[in-house]
Structure 1
Amino acid sequence: MPNNQQPSWIDYVARYGYAAKTVVYLSLGILTMLAAMRYSSTENLSHKDIFNEILQQPFGHVLLAPVSLGLFSYALWRLIQAIKNTEHLDNSKVKDVLMRVFFVFSALTYSSAGWLAARVLVGNEEQSSSKGNSETLAQHLMGYTLGVWLVGIVGLMILVFAFVQFKHAYTGDFMEKFEQQRMSSSVLSACLWAGRTGYTARGILYVFIGAFFMQAAYQYDPDEAGGLKEAMGEILNQPFGQWLLAIMACGLMLFSLFCAFESCYRQTEAKS
């Protein structure tokens, strides 16, 4: 954004959303580190656990309320990206059309997270189901004709998304979305390495989650589908699992730093 241009409401919506992501990923990174150090369990690594952890902090209600609103704000920003085409995607290219579809899917995902945070805030989160969101989704899809194929397609899409994370980590192309003229050389360097490390950590997590869905489709068993806590548990069960999970925790905390940079320096308006 040019220095003489006042920020629009879209700018505030986007930056507020990225700030909320900063808090969520920092909390996830801390909980993951506690699990790696055996002070906690990977069973406590779900979105509900993250929001409960925030709530238990001093002035937790004061913190969780804006986090919930921030997640809704980020969902709105994703819809704006899809509708206004703030990224200047080419509608004649399949991959760009799919990216706009992904923005809508991301908006739905973060709206759900914001709603869950709001329920935790008022003490109305669901306690009855022992199944996670991934198992519930897989079970729902398998209720349809050709549902096993739908579960497999979801798994494949998650794997593709995982490798997109690795692509970002390798190329550093995410830096093109920043207002780099406003960033010092040290901030640019920190942003690049936080982003590369964070995207790598996210890619690893999504590889596990995508593989869980593929396994659920192959075995026709929705209980084989897994989400965040199952992926973390699988990492912990590997040789040197505690060290691997600790590294993953560091990667997630660095991604929270990257989200903080996005809150400050991310381009939010379509450029002409």
Structure 2
Amino acid sequence: MEPSSKWKKLTARVGYSAKTVMYVMLGAFILTSVVNTLNREKASQSHVFITLKQQPLGQVFLAILVVGLACYAFWRWLQIVITEKSNDDNIFVHFINKLFFFISGAFYLVAAYAGGKTLLEVRSSESSQDNEKRISEFLMQYEWGLLLVAAIGLCIIIFAIVQFKHAFTSDFLDKFSMSSLSVFVKRCIKITGRLGYTARGLVYCLVGCFFVIAALLSNPSEAGGLQKALEILMEQPFGPYLIAGVGVGFIMFGLYCALEARYRKVDE
């Protein structure tokens, strides 16, 4: 194996391992919200960082997580360069894939930055839901702001549809050399991937709708993230069961990321 290939594989594995920690902890916090509705406020990325930091050797583990998230962001941007257009994709699909890699990388770089602020004890009194409202408020100051907020919402909804597509078609299996894996590992990849992508699709669909509604009503308070999505789900019939399903799904996605860290092909 060439040195550059080893370097790419190490970067990808560290990044997927960091995603494993983040999604498993998020899923665990979501499950606790079923027992205590007040804990919905803790089902956020920032609480993952704070909780990890409070553990024995927490600063070390949080620093490793931050580095891992940064590695994943870099891996996503690296995929923009190394991913070649397949014969089955048209130019538009190829461009969308590149755009997805860029946005995904930016998202996890922001997550790494937030984790770094927690590590350095730069605290903010605002929740993640407040941040979404602030973004909407800022954009709506301008004439084109409403359109941009709506566009952000539509992009998130499209991303949610892609998650559901992955869950339905199991096309994520193409990321692995399935012929070289045991039957048990293959089954684990398929089950955790399907459940994980379904849970992500549901949450992203709700978040995207929040942004679209905020634009249609010219009301930035309608925007929201994971916490607001959990509140909406709790208000539905069988709400606690829906939230429990999302929590399990997030944990499954975390385990799927662990399988990616171990078995994913990174050279294509």
TM-score bucket of the superposed structures, by smaller chain: over 0.9
CA distance in 1, matches of 2:117, 2:64: 13
The verdict on how the C-alpha distance between 1:86 and 1:22 changes in structure 2, with shifts beyond 3 A counting, is: farther
For residue 263 of structure 1, what is the aligned residue in structure 2?
Answer: 261
The answer (yes or no) to whether the contact 2:128–2:225 under 8 Å persists in 1 is: no
The verdict on how the C-alpha distance between 1:168 and 1:91 changes in structure 2, with shifts beyond 3 A counting, is: closer
The answer (yes or no) to whether the contact 1:182–1:265 under 8 Å persists in 2 is: no
Are 1:229 and 2:214 matched, yes or no?
no
CA distance in 2, matches of 1:74, 1:89: 27
Alignment map for 1:153-192 (pairs within 5 Å): 153-192=151-190
CA distance in 2, matches of 1:158, 1:89: 27
CA distance in 1, matches of 2:120, 2:165: 40
Deviation per CA, 1:195-240: give whole Å up to 9, x if none: 0000000000011101100110011011110111111111112122
**SS of 1:133's equivalent?**
helix
Task: Select between 20-29 and 124-133 the one with higher mean Cα deviation.
Answer: 124-133
Q: Percent identity?
A: 37
CA distance in 1, matches of 2:108, 2:92: 24
CA distance in 1, matches of 2:183, 2:2: 24
Task: Select between 159-168 and 54-63 the one with higher mean Cα deviation.
Answer: 54-63
The verdict on how the C-alpha distance between 1:39 and 1:134 changes in structure 2, with shifts beyond 3 A counting, is: closer
**SS of 1:69's equivalent?**
helix
The verdict on how the C-alpha distance between 1:138 and 1:26 changes in structure 2, with shifts beyond 3 A counting, is: same
The verdict on how the C-alpha distance between 1:89 and 1:122 changes in structure 2, with shifts beyond 3 A counting, is: farther
Task: Select between 216-225 and 38-47 the one with higher mean Cα deviation.
Answer: 38-47
For residue 21 of structure 2, what is the aligned residue in structure 1?
Answer: 23
CA distance in 2, matches of 1:138, 1:229: 16
For residue 132 of structure 2, what is the aligned residue in structure 1?
Answer: 134
Alignment map for 1:56-205 (pairs within 5 Å): 56-85=54-83, 88=86, 92-127=90-125, 132-205=130-203
Q: 1:247 aligns with which of 230, 239, 245?
A: 245
**SS of 1:197's equivalent?**
helix
Decide which structure has greater helix share.
Answer: 2
Aligned-partner residue type, residue 22 of structure 2: V
CA distance in 2, matches of 1:16, 1:145: 43
The answer (yes or no) to whether the contact 2:76–2:105 under 8 Å persists in 1 is: yes
The verdict on how the C-alpha distance between 1:133 and 1:95 changes in structure 2, with shifts beyond 3 A counting, is: farther
Unaligned runs of 5+ in 1: none
Are 1:212 and 2:214 matched, yes or no?
no
Unaligned runs of 5+ in 2: none
CA distance in 2, matches of 1:50, 1:196: 24
CA distance in 1, matches of 2:57, 2:92: 47
Alignment map for 1:48-63 (pairs within 5 Å): 48-63=46-61
CA distance in 2, matches of 1:235, 1:86: 40
CA distance in 2, matches of 1:250, 1:131: 22
CA distance in 1, matches of 2:138, 2:29: 29
The verdict on how the C-alpha distance between 1:19 and 1:88 changes in structure 2, with shifts beyond 3 A counting, is: farther
Aligned-partner residue type, residue 241 of structure 1: G
1:135 Cα shift? 1.5
CA distance in 2, matches of 1:31, 1:107: 24
Deviation per CA, 1:154-189: give whole Å up to 9, x if none: 111111111111110000000001122342110001
The verdict on how the C-alpha distance between 1:111 and 1:86 changes in structure 2, with shifts beyond 3 A counting, is: farther
The verdict on how the C-alpha distance between 1:172 and 1:61 changes in structure 2, with shifts beyond 3 A counting, is: same
TM-score norm. by structure 2 comes to 0.93
